[in-house]
């Protein structure tokens, strides 16, 4: 415990704030059914009920409890963003390391395919693909993972190319080690720092992208709670001076800022620079 406290107080205040916020969000994701006072899709009262002791944040356009919807929205929005980011890193990171390790025709082929996908604006590409394949959670994860894997590919390939030419990698080649061994034991440990930092930033972009799609009606579909769609569905309250529709937007912004604080801290620590 003492070791943990000493390590905790050695972390910058901004990173402490970020870690606390991320922990709270993870608890909301894991414990949503137990923390929410009402069900995710349960219609309880009239539309747009004001804040009260029964409905702490009022009700939405259909009479559902806003607080419960925000809590369940954490599970849907953050969960989908996390799965999509993990899949993007699995695809893009693996192909990027493979392209840098093998080189030659495979590197050129993968790089040109990535260039073609990246040449299309991400939002237009996502809207087109989701219109074709549908707007289920699986389709949403796959489309966003495909789009973001291109960015991960370019970063992994670029960083790995500076590692594959080093002497210790060449020594491993001369020992007869295979490509999988080189990628896993020689290259990956030396590119992990920028990839971890990119994971945090990429998660933020995916998180905001999903919220944007939901706001446009092509993200998480009703009746599931999603912060982006909650802003759209209750936007009319802003005209009456009610800040309730801004609360899901605030939840999106708070998590984005928290993750950036933690990423900045990890990048600073990895750089070896002193405060």
Q: Would you list the domain boundaries of the chain?
A: 19-271
pLDDT of 274 reads 54
3-state helix vs strand vs coil in the chain, percent to 5: 75, 0, 25
Record: fold of 19-271: MetI-like fold (1.10.3720)
Tokens of 83: 């799965």
pLDDT of 88 reads 92
User: For the chain (length 275 residues), average pLDDT per consecutive 10?
Assistant: 58 85 88 87 82 84 86 85 91 90 87 89 84 82 90 90 83 80 83 82 84 79 80 80 83 87 77 54
pLDDT of 9 reads 62
Strand partners, 43: 64
* Closest C-alpha to 143, from 152, 151, 135: 135
C-alpha 190/C-alpha 164 separation (Å) is 10
Query: What's the pTM?
Result: 0.83
Q: Give the H/E segment covering residue 137.
A: helix 137-161
pLDDT of 89 reads 92
Burial of 205 (0-12, 13-18, 19+ CB in 10 A): middle
pLDDT of 153 reads 92
C-alpha 220/C-alpha 211 separation (Å) is 9
């Amino acid at each position: 415990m003492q070791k943990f406290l000493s390590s905790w107080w050695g972390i910058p205040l901004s990173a402490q704030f970020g870690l606390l916020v991320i922990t709270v969000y993870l608890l909301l994701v894991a414990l949503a059914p137990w923390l929410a006072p009402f069900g995710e899709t349960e219609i309880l009262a009239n539309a747009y009920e004001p804040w009260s002791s029964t409905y702490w944040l009022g009700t939405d356009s259909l009479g559902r409890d806003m607080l419960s919807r925000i809590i369940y929205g954490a599970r849907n929005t953050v969960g989908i963003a996390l799965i999509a980011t993990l899949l993007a890193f699995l695809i893009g990171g693996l192909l990027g390391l493979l392209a840098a390790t093998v080189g030659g025709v495979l590197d050129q082929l993968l790089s040109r395919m990535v260039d073609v996908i990246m040449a299309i604006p991400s939002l237009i590409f996502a809207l087109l693909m989701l219109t074709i394949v549908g707007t289920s959670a699986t389709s949403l994860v796959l489309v966003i993972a495909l789009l973001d894997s291109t960015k991960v590919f370019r970063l992994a390939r670029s960083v790995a190319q500076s590692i594959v030419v080093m002497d210790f990698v060449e020594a491993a080649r001369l020992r007869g080690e295979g490509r999988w061994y080189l990628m896993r034991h020689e290259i990956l440990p030396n590119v992990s720092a920028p990839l971890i930092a990119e994971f945090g930033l990429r998660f933020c972009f995916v998180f905001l992208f999903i919220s944007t799609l939901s706001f446009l009606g092509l993200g998480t579909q009703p009746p599931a709670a999603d912060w982006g769609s909650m802003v759209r569905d209750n936007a009319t309250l802003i005209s009456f001076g009610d800040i309730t529709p801004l609360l899901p937007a605030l939840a999106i912004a708070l998590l984005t800022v928290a993750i950036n604080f933690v990423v900045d801290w990890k990048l600073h620590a990895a750089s070896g620079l002193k405060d």
